[in-house]
A and B are shown apart, each in its own frame.
Chain A
Amino acid sequence: MTSGLMTAREAGLIACVRCGLLHEKKIHECTRCGAYLESRDATSIQRVWALLFAGMITFVPANVLPMLKTNTLVEHSESTIIGGVFELIHHGSIGIAAIVFIASILIPVGKFIAIAYLAISVQRKSTLNQHQRHKLYEVVEFIGRWSMIDVFVVAILSALVQLDTIASINPGVAAFSFALSVIFTILSAQSFDARLIWDTDRTAHAK
């Protein structure tokens, strides 16, 4: 497919990941921007997996433990993410429930699956759907910055609704866990060296 193209590595050069300047193999620091030069990141897959696991681990308490602690005059309630979704459905706000469900459950889970799929496919040196996989990686990276939306909502609510005994909202442990999970997932996605997607193709052709 891409056999006509020659990679920098094949040419015995190293491209700076930050500014794109090509260097000799011997050079270890980019002469233009000073970034550390490496032809391929050897620990990339390791870091992806480690951070992905961290993100997954922290995602468990984020869903099990309460996200919001709501104290009103008459009741005290702690709601988890899933609990909140069901509550919203129960009250008929299916649209909002869908948003919360997608933003807080589907997307993070989707990201885990996507990152895991990318990492596995790289390790298995798969040559299938390389373009789609690269697109997938870009989507994952793009979505990453919006994943904190839940945490923002909790932070804003906690800051606004502090009416002493009448009503108050406090963030639960899950908010912290969720934030960690998102951070780990973003880091995991960033640790992924997208060039590896294409290397398999090259090595396959080389053989």
Chain B
Amino acid sequence: MPNDHDQSPADFDLRQAARPIWQRISLVWLVPALALIISLSVAYQNYASQGVLIEISFDNASGVAADETVIKYRDVTIGRVEKVEFAAGLSDVLVHARIDQKMAPYLDDDAEFWVVRPDVSVRGITGLDTVLGGVYIEGNWDTEADEAQYQFVGVENPPITRAGQRGSVITLRARDGSALSAGAPILHKGIQVGYLETPELSFNGRDVLVSAFVEAPYDRRITSTTRFWDTSGFSIKFGASGVALDVDSMASLIEGGIAFDTVVSGGSPLVEGQLFDLFDDEDTARSSLFAKPNQEVLNVSVLFEQSVSGLSVGSEVRFQGIRIGQVSELSAFVVADRDDQQVRLRANLEIEPGRLGLGPDASTEDALGFLEDFVLRGLRARMITGNILSGSLQVEFLQIEDAPTAVVRQTDDGYPVIPTTKSEIADVAATAEGVLDRINSLPVEELMSGAIDMMDSFERLANDDSLRAAPASLNALLDEARGLIANEDVQAVPANLRSALSDLNKVIASADEAQIVSKLAETLQTANTAVANIEEATRNLPQITAQIEAVIAKTNALELDKLVQEATATLASIDKLIGSDATADLPASVSAALDETRLFLAEVRQGGAIENVNAALASASAAAKAFETSVQGLPALSNRATSLVSQTEAVVASFGERSRFSAETLGTLRDIQAAADAVTNLARTIQRNPSSLLTGR
């Protein structure tokens, strides 16, 4: 045992009992498991949030860079370009991009993508942020999730109408698309309420169709009676009221634009995508309200023998003042008339049946029947002046009383021909010429010569020998009277008188019985009456003067033509009156009267009654005085004539400067000048400040 004591016991074979594997595994293995789970979840999250890969093909992807270019929807980034490559055949550029997962379902077949670049247009500057931040791709799609797509074809220009914009899309049909451009504004009462999309040719190639977007709530203003018209550029209206320059906004001046208005209420409400016609101008648009636009028209021909210059395609056709159509074509037309051939000018007219008063549903047959009926009753076509200044013509249908019977014939190519009548064309030159012709044809010369004749007649009257002879005759009369008084016989008169008185006494005494004295008084009375008659005859002259005055006054009040004619006639009659034998004989009559007086005095000398002589002399003197008065009236008459002449002259002169016609002409010219000034001002403003064209200021 003690030996054993030295020896230490054998070492324990310290071996742990084998434990099951789950007991031997340390809890520390949870750490890498956790790390793995976290890493995997991060990876999954990363993958899940990576988004959907889509592919957009562009013709031109300038500025698009992988990992940099973002994709935006309504200005919010929803994705990023991952790769830019070429399609097979190098036809397109393929842009691969990742789009936010939530957005992916909305990317259906209506999705559009385009590259946003800086754009400077009349309407403003867009995409300015891309100058610094580089281009980005913008997408547009509606808010309804549909079957998702992953391949898209990018568009060159951004669509003008963005998804989610409230408003209405309409389609406009125009004859010509030159004035339309994408983005051009739609104006309503001068306010932009929408814009045009890109114009496209219609399927048959005849019209230009353009979609237009009108924003809410303005689209409620559009009904089936709304009319659209082109406001692009500027229009110059030249008419009797002067020149009107009409310019809309600068944007519409450059890009074009259209406007609309609903004049008649009660139209049916707008249907999405409804088709409207685009009219060339506002007047046409408004006047189209009462006719169905683009309704079937009746084509008729009119053959004119004279020149149709001034008539143009689009000229109006009027029937009793109402526009019923327009000229659609002008051409020459050969009429074979037996042997000789004549060239007529042919105007084809488009008549709108709806405007003939046949109701809105009238067909072209109805219209033709209507016209045929009227032609039988005297309806004829003619050209009339539409605008006197521009010399443009219109075709007018008018009813002619007792017109020769005519029927509507057909041309070889099947156009009904409306018979014509003499046209009434008055151009401004012809009218002005006519006025001048009328002024020229006024009998001014005759009037002057009539006045001169009248003066001559008066002068002749005054210079008349017999009138001049009147004083001489008077002198002779007085001499004779003196001689009579100085006569011995007269000297002897007292003695004789005495004896005569004594005789007279006897005579009176006997006369008392025979009433001689009363008979003598009677004789003297007769002589007096004769002298008074002469006086009266002479007194008529002032009356004539007064009458001339009245006539002239009347003449002044009369119209020009009549006035001149009447003045001439009056002057002629005055001339005639003065030149008439009776007037010319007047002095002769006076002389005869004096001669008679002389004879009477000679008789008196023999009869010896001096008081009677004195009375006779007084009468003669009065007669001479009356004559003098009448001659004094002559200067007044001459003055009248002068004033008449000067008035006539004034009338003629007023034609030169103050007549209405010339005032209107002057006014028109002044308006034209004002318009020209306005254009000059505009040009000068633009020249001075060209940026105003851009800024609008």
Contacts and interface: CB of A to CB of B under 8 A. Distances in A.
Interface of A: 43, 46-47, 50-51, 53-55, 57-58, 60-61, 64-65, 73-75, 77, 173, 177, 180, 184, 191
Sort A-B residue pairs by CB-CB distance and give the 10 closest, nearest first. Answer: A54-B32, A53-B32, A54-B35, A50-B28, A43-B26, A47-B28, A46-B26, A50-B29, A57-B35, A54-B31
Given A46-B25, A50-B26, A58 B46 contact: no
Interface of B: 25-26, 28-29, 31-32, 34-36, 38-39, 42-43, 46, 67-68, 132-134
Contact of A177 (B29, B36, B42, B132): B42
B35 A74 contact: no
B26 A60 contact: no
Chain B interface mostly: helix
A61 B42 contact: yes
Contacts of A184: 31-32, 35
16 contacts: A43-B26, A46-B29, A47-B28, A50-B26, A50-B29, A51-B31, A54-B31, A54-B34, A54-B36, A57-B36, A61-B39, A73-B133, A75-B133, A173-B46, A180-B35, A184-B31
Contacts of B132: 73-74
A58 B134 contact: no
Nearest to B30: A50
Contacts of B134: 74-75
A186 B460 CA distance: 155
Contacts of B29: 46, 50
A115 to B, nearest CB: 13
- Most chain A Cβ neighbours within 10 Å, of B32, B36, B43: B32
Contacts of A60: 39
B44 to A, nearest CB: 11
Contact of B39 (A43, A47, A58, A191): A58
A152 B26 CA distance: 32
B68 A75 contact: yes
Given A43-B26, A60-B39, A61-B39, A50 B46 contact: no
Given A74-B133, A75-B68, A173-B46, A51 B28 contact: yes
B26 A47 contact: yes
- Most chain A Cβ neighbours within 10 Å, of B34, B35, B46, B133: B35
Nearest to A191: B28
A2 B309 CA distance: 131
Given A50-B32, A74-B133, A75-B68, A177 B26 contact: no
Given A47-B28, A53-B36, A75-B133, 17 more contacts: A43-B26, A46-B29, A54-B31, A54-B36, A55-B35, A57-B32, A57-B36, A57-B39, A61-B39, A61-B42, A64-B43, A74-B132, A173-B42, A177-B42, A184-B31, A184-B32, A184-B35
A58 B28 CA distance: 16
Nearest to A66: B46
A191 B43 CA distance: 29
Given A54-B35, A58-B39, A74-B132, A43 B68 contact: no
Nearest to A74: B133
Contacts of A57: 32, 35-36, 39
Contacts of B26: 43, 46-47, 50
Contacts of B28: 43, 46-47, 50-51, 191
Contacts of B67: 77
A75 B80 CA distance: 12
A116 B134 CA distance: 49
A65 B35 CA distance: 15
A154 to B, nearest CB: 17
A104 B38 CA distance: 21
A119 to B, nearest CB: 13
A113 B38 CA distance: 23
- Most chain A Cβ neighbours within 10 Å, of B31, B39, B46, B133: B39
Contacts of B31: 50-51, 54, 184
A75 B36 CA distance: 33
Contact of A65 (B25, B46, B68, B133): B46
Contacts of B35: 53-55, 57-58, 180, 184
A108 to B, nearest CB: 14
B106 to A, nearest CB: 24
Contacts of A54: 31-32, 34-36
B32 A61 contact: no
A75 B42 CA distance: 25
Contacts of A58: 35, 38-39
Nearest to B34: A54
Nearest to A173: B42
A57 B38 CA distance: 9
A74 B132 CA distance: 6
A46 B25 CA distance: 7
